[in-house]
Amino acid sequence: MKRVNNKLLLAAAIAALLAGCDSGGINIEPETNDNSTDNSTDNGGGDNTNNPCATLESSGLQGSYNGTNCTYSEDFVSSSNPLTEDLYIPALPEGGAHIFSGSLFVGETFDSDAALAEAGIAEGGDGVKLEVQAGATVAFTNNSAFMVINRGSQLFARGTESAPITFTSQSDVLGTVGPEDVSQWGGMVINGFGVTNKCSYTGSVSAGDLALDGECHLLSEGSVGDDESNYGGNNNADSSGEMTYVRVKHTGAEVASGDELNGIAFNAVGSGTTVRNLEAYSTYDDGIEFFGGAVSIENYVALYVRDDSIDIDEGWQGSITNALVIQSEADGNHCIESDGIGNYDKIDAAARSSVISKGINSRPVIDGLTCIISPQGGGTHDPGAGWRFREGIFPMVSNSMIVASFAADTTKLDSDGEPALDNYCLRVESDETLTEAESGTDVAITSNIFACEEKTKGGPVGADTLEQWAVNSGNQFAPISGAVDPTANANTDLQLLGGIPAIFTEDPQLIQDAAPTVTPVGRAYLGALDINGSDWTQGWTYGLHEGGRAKPLWFE
């Protein structure tokens, strides 16, 4: 049965041609394959008549179908047996899942320029392509398994609002997983040819002559033995494919290397990759982490992430537009934890200055973010907190809100015996970041509302405290002390969130009928969702809305 035909190859070719463009408005229609072809050969157990499971075209090897799910042994694919040909994974009848016994590695990894050249791999689209049909579920049987898209290879996971694509664990498929259970499998790793400042470059971004100084083949998280994969290069416009309406659930297991994986690690993934409507749900480590590259995301949900919901490092230069982060009541660390320069503590000031002068430190642009922060002070990793910017990062963040007013942890004491209050809103550190914040050229945090009892940590910015600098930059802090319910449904003095569930930006009231002085820039509202607008989370996310969650949100 042919699962990848000329239409898929044409779509991939179009995607490659558009890799250097802003792909935010591009939507190549997913191919619909006829999966009803009769293939009555039994490839491993069960009645495989009308077997809809994925097939390796070169060998005819096909998954085993039990009438509901398809299962795939490590003879089909694993880390030591990666896909070396294009593969199509269809949606199964009655919500069946594709269950993999081992890891799903797409394409081979190469650790030298010579090996890449011999394989004909120079950019995304040169290698293997994996297409996952809208509505499909891909699951993994154990917590040593994870998924890798190697450099040159591409993933086309084009779900829809009514038929999202899910990557999850077998325990989730079987219904034996709890709503906040994590580490049921590893997670996703996507490797690209983008820029990472852990490699060496000449020239600069501003001059248009940035070039690699030597080779760039960094080991990704999870790399050891057969699990090894590499990332990095000099093409921030590279394309690793497309992910739309995708949910990644119950991730973060510690794989063979000893690394705790994230929901998704974007390793030097380029801007030619389309990522829109993405959810990270219940993960032990970070929700999404960027290691260099320039991929951008539109409409992101992070729910019950135990570490950082958004983690940035190694010179990521993409954007996030509209993001909703909701931590667990009893767990979760930063909404944003971000670094500008990889190996910051291992290089001297001159080397850091060189990275910045080349323009390859992290320079994220984030617009329309709502962070609902846990009041906990002793979770899996660290206390619930807002945004941390450090190690030479130059961030641009606007039209956003941090809501941590439900309470502050008072169990931890400082040296004076007072509550340590580590549930802060804004933390800015490192000489390079603070200096640039003072100049106001490449660091801008503006038109944001912060509702935390501990407002800031870090600074100062020039002669100003960090709080003074933030206020002077067009931000506003709610004057709160102790637990103040910020939902309009509770009819409190502080009103920031409303709707059912209370995840939408209300007409803000900061305290006792006082409207905020901060106003949105370039859009009509602050945060991810407007109470008076459409709800882009409806239909495809898990955990938010009634009918598509295992339990209500804790602040309801």
Q: How many structural domains compose the chain?
A: 2
**Which pLDDT band, with edges at 50, 70 and 90, does 416 fall under?**
confident
pLDDT at residue number 14: 32
Signed CA dihedral, 540, 261, 403, 342: sign only? negative
Burial (0-12, 13-18, 19+ Cβ within 10 Å), 213 = exposed
Q: Is the pLDDT of residue 218 over 60?
A: yes
Examine the domain organization and report whether 318 and 276 are in the same domain: no
In a domain, 378, yes or no: no
Number of CB atoms found within 10 A of residue 172's CB:
24
Mean pLDDT of 504-520: 90
Q: Among all chains, which residue has been given the structure tokens 């191919």?
A: 31
Q: Are residues 318 and 259 in the same domain?
A: no
Pair 509, 402 in one domain? yes
**What mean pLDDT do residues 485-489 have?**
87
Check whether 27 has a pLDDT greater than 70.
Answer: no
Q: What is the DSSP letter of 530?
A: B
Q: Which is more confidently placed, 487 or 315? A: 315
What is the number of other CB atoms lying within 10 angstroms of the CB of residue 403?
Answer: 28
Looking at the chain, the number of H-run helices and the number of E-run strands are: 6, 32
Q: Are residues 233 and 349 in the same domain?
A: no
Whether residues 168 and 234 share a domain: the answer is yes
Structure-block tokens of residue 550: 């295992």
Q: What are phi and psi of 379, to 5 degrees?
A: -80, -160
| Comparison of pLDDT for 20 and 394, the residue scoring more | 394
Distance between CA atoms of 545 and 315, rounded to whole angstroms? 35
Q: What is the pLDDT of residue 542?
A: 98
Mean pLDDT of the chain: 90
- Co-location of 399 and 462 in the same domain: yes
338 belongs to a structural domain: no
Closest CA to 478 of 432, 438, 515, 528: 515
**Token digits of residue 273:** 């990759």
Q: Could you tell me if 89 and 216 lie in one domain?
A: yes
pLDDT reading at 81 higher than 70: yes
How much of the chain exceeds pLDDT 90, in percent?
78
pLDDT tens, position by position, 265-319: 999 999 999 999 999 999 999 999 999 999 999 999 999 999 999 999 999 999 9
**Could you tell me if 288 and 352 lie in one domain?**
no
The answer to whether residue 302 is domain-embedded is no
Q: Tell me which of 23-37, 147-161, 445-459 is least confident.
A: 23-37
3-state secondary structure 441-469: CCCEEEEEEEECCCCEEECCECCECHHHH
Task: Read off the pLDDT band of 253 (50, 70, 90).
Answer: confident
**Residue 489, phi then psi, degrees to nearest 5:** -60, -25
What tokens does 167 get? 């990557």
CB 428 within 8 A of CB 458: yes
Q: What distance in Å separates the CA atoms of residue 304 and residue 408, rounded to the nearest whole number?
A: 18
- Specify whether 136 is located in the same domain as 39: yes
Enclosing domain of residue 170: 1-292
| Pair (34, 165) in one structural domain | yes
Helix/strand/coil (H/E/C) assignment for every residue in 174-218: HCCCCCCCCCCCCCEEEECCCCCCCCCEECCCCCCCCEECCCCCE
pTM: 0.90
Tell me, yes or no, whether 337 lies in a domain: no
Judge whether 430 and 391 are in contact, CB under 8 Å: yes
> Distance between CA 153 and CA 151 in Å, rounded?
5
Q: Kindly state the tokens that stand for 96.
A: 């069946």
Q: Which helix (H) or strand (E) holds 385?
A: strand 385-390
Q: Which of 22-36, 198-212, 328-342 has the lowest mean pLDDT?
A: 22-36
Same domain as 317, residue 288: no
Q: Which residue has the higher pLDDT, 512 or 104?
A: 104
> Looking at the domain assignment, is residue 301 inside a domain?
no
Q: Are residues 57 and 97 in the same domain?
A: yes
5 is a domain residue = yes
Q: Report pLDDT for 49.
A: 60
- Is 299 among the domain residues? no
Among 92-101, 479-488, 508-517, top mean pLDDT goes to 92-101
- Asked whether 175 and 182 are in contact (CB, 8 A), the reply is no
Tokens 């509209």, residue? 322
Burial-class residue 118 by CB neighbours within 10 Å (0-12, 13-18, 19+).
exposed
**Residue 404, domain member (yes or no):** yes
Residue with the larger pLDDT of the pair 215 and 416: 215
